Structure 1
């Protein structure tokens, strides 16, 4: 009777939807008389200890990531090593054998569910290397897996050794799949050797990995071209900024670098652009759409000379809406009241850390200038967008500052 009911339900579902979605396809399989397929969502609950809602979310994440890796839709969990519980069981056993608790295993699987389809034969030796070769404790292995489990299932534990210490590895940004799946012998190690021959120290390369983590995973020829491009920009190998010039040339590409350099020359002048790039090559990694409003604001509104921008290119690295515009408004207001030296260069205020700036220039004068703190807080939170030709926007955007200055005029008029 039960089998008859299952068959009828299966036929009804099939007739209703000729082209079944992956979800309904799995539902039909469950209603068939054949053994139920392996369910990743159910396994995450029963074996890994995830809550049902979390398991559903993690399962979807696993399917989405697997689809990206395979470059085609991941129809169901019957692929690869997830067709049965045997491989996931083996992986969980290895994690448990490394000293991870059930709660730790659940957290690791939630962070990277595809670890369950990793080859147990590959994962096992790498876990042993973490413990025996690198001397990591069980808590440290857990910390490593939370941020670098893709390294465990994609490559050797080379990157921990390269970074010099486990602590340095943890400070690195989230590891991109492109780097972790790159071949160590044909890409990563040749790129490191090339950069070392260019005069970069291991520390320099580690710093580059922290800012441009995809660099070592690029094609070796592209990195060679980036070295030549950096030199063509006038950044010598002996310069402390050479490593950043290589990174931006490799990741942005020669064409984009050339285009942005020409843009800077047209906006600032040829010699000024070359000076700025030699001091801060990373500005070539910023799009023209982001650079143009900053340059126009600095030139037209603040009155900064192109030569100053060339000598202090860090100005182009600050946020226009949350740093440059609000600080300029505060500076002009304080100068108008005689509370700030009018000869103080704008760069001196722009480079100060936010907490220090608030303490010395906002909190310090908030009683002397009513509304100053509120106006600054409003603009840094909402952002004051520049208008045409880099000038500040409409009255609504500058409302907080206009209210402060208008109240000052009202006080003056009342005194008269």
Structure 2
């Protein structure tokens, strides 16, 4: 078997002429299992649950559940034929079990009419056996359908790679079952009309994987809500406004804006500026917005108008970023180690790596325990040298 698998790998990227060989090999493997199964069936009754445990490595509980869809099987010929094909793809025991649990009816398919032709077509697309195996595990119910080829031909270029497609499939199980022509393509076209290109469509897949598979009328409604936030199509912030609109309906969006105005004492104009500049602020919980606004205004002493023009500050954690970095900046300025006009806003926007390089390491001689104290604040501690008196408004140069 190992030598045979190596031979198959060598054929992975050869021209279409190799397809006939793969058909014959897969047909032979599955037929061999089917013949053996028929002989076994003639000598003993077929117990589906026991078979699933012994051959596909399901747990007894999984086997009981899966067997409800396989009670009509009288012999193991079909599931053995499927097992032969999947095993020769390189699926491990855990993968075989996962496929059988996800799609028990896979074990009943006619391998010569469905599974074998689909696998051959996938190989002709240039997929390796290991890639096909991962695709089978990700969605065994759709792999044997004829539409799998056209959908891969569309999704892989859209997302940039087969790996990106697999990741997207894990995040959205409806990807291969959605109507490509009437749902997915119209949604992608609308997103592109809004200035969201393929790169950013792929980026949207993580937080909102349903955007391309939802009903087109629902996506159009989301786009309308995003525009209603004052973020025009084509702007760099539109995709963030769309994300907010995909999680919140019109009434909830309006309520969140009102909450921001009340909590941060913003005017209508200031709220509009903040939302247009950073729509992601609308996705924060009310509890987080309360804690962050209280810290920025009461402890740091920032004015509401200042925050409205820099709303990204509201997305950060008080405990993990805002307070620890505030203590560092405050300490450095009070000890003459940092220019008085250095912005606290800049200090909290940079990455952790950049913050360490610009605000901690340059002062290791003048303040040798600064790195240690900063690390303590990240753990929720407040070293004595960092304890500050109650600041007055504007106490920190911003």
TM-score, with normalisation over the residues of structure 2? Answer: 0.70
Paired residues of 1:107 and 1:146 also in contact (CA < 8 A): no
Q: SS of the counterpart of 2:66?
A: coil
Aligned match of 2:259: 263
Aligned match of 1:38: 49
TM alignment of 1:17-416, pairs within 5 A: 36-39=47-50, 42-43=53-54, 46-47=55-56, 56=59, 76-81=65-70, 88-97=79-88, 100-101=89-90, 104-109=91-96, 114-119=101-106, 120=109, 126-133=118-125, 135-144=126-135, 152=143, 156=148, 157-158=151-152, 159-169=155-165, 172=168, 174-179=170-175, 181-268=177-264, 269=266, 270-380=268-378, 382=379, 384=380, 398=381, 400-402=382-384
Q: 1:105 to 1:274 in 2, by over 3 A?
A: same
Paired residues of 1:176 and 1:213 also in contact (CA < 8 A): yes
How far did residue 193 of structure 1 move? Answer: 3.1
Q: 1:176 to 1:314 in 2, by over 3 A?
A: same
Per-residue CA distance 1:79-136 (angstroms, 9 max, x = gap):
2248755565444333345xx32xx433534665534525446655554443223x12
2-structure distance, mates of 1:363, 1:317: 26
2-structure distance, mates of 1:354, 1:81: 54
Q: 1:203 to 1:309 in 2, by over 3 A?
A: same
How far did residue 286 of structure 1 move? Answer: 1.9
Paired residues of 1:109 and 1:115 also in contact (CA < 8 A): no
Paired residues of 2:103 and 2:140 also in contact (CA < 8 A): no
Work out which structure has the larger RCO, using CA pairs closer than 8 Å and 6 or more positions apart in sequence: 2
How far did residue 153 of structure 1 move? Answer: 7.3
2-structure distance, mates of 1:273, 1:344: 26
How far did residue 274 of structure 1 move? Answer: 1.2
2-structure distance, mates of 1:326, 1:245: 30
Q: 1:82 to 1:328 in 2, by over 3 A?
A: farther
Paired residues of 1:87 and 1:116 also in contact (CA < 8 A): no
How far did residue 304 of structure 1 move? Answer: 2.4
How far did residue 327 of structure 1 move? Answer: 0.7
For structure 2, the 5+ residue unaligned runs are 1-44, 389-398
How far did residue 239 of structure 1 move? Answer: 1.2
Per-residue CA distance 1:126-150 (angstroms, 9 max, x = gap):
54443223x1222333455566667
Paired residues of 1:260 and 1:284 also in contact (CA < 8 A): yes
Paired residues of 1:257 and 1:284 also in contact (CA < 8 A): yes
2-structure distance, mates of 1:314, 1:361: 20
TM-score, with normalisation over the residues of structure 1? Answer: 0.67
Q: 1:140 to 1:320 in 2, by over 3 A?
A: same
2-structure distance, mates of 1:222, 1:347: 37
Paired residues of 2:326 and 2:344 also in contact (CA < 8 A): yes
Per-residue CA distance 1:48-83 (angstroms, 9 max, x = gap):
5xxxxxx64xx76x68xxxxxxxxxxx733222487
Paired residues of 1:38 and 1:83 also in contact (CA < 8 A): no
How far did residue 226 of structure 1 move? Answer: 0.8
How far did residue 402 of structure 1 move? Answer: 2.3
Q: 1:240 to 1:360 in 2, by over 3 A?
A: closer
1-structure distance, mates of 2:141, 2:338: 53
Q: 1:173 to 1:189 in 2, by over 3 A?
A: closer
How far did residue 337 of structure 1 move? Answer: 1.5
How far did residue 349 of structure 1 move? Answer: 0.7
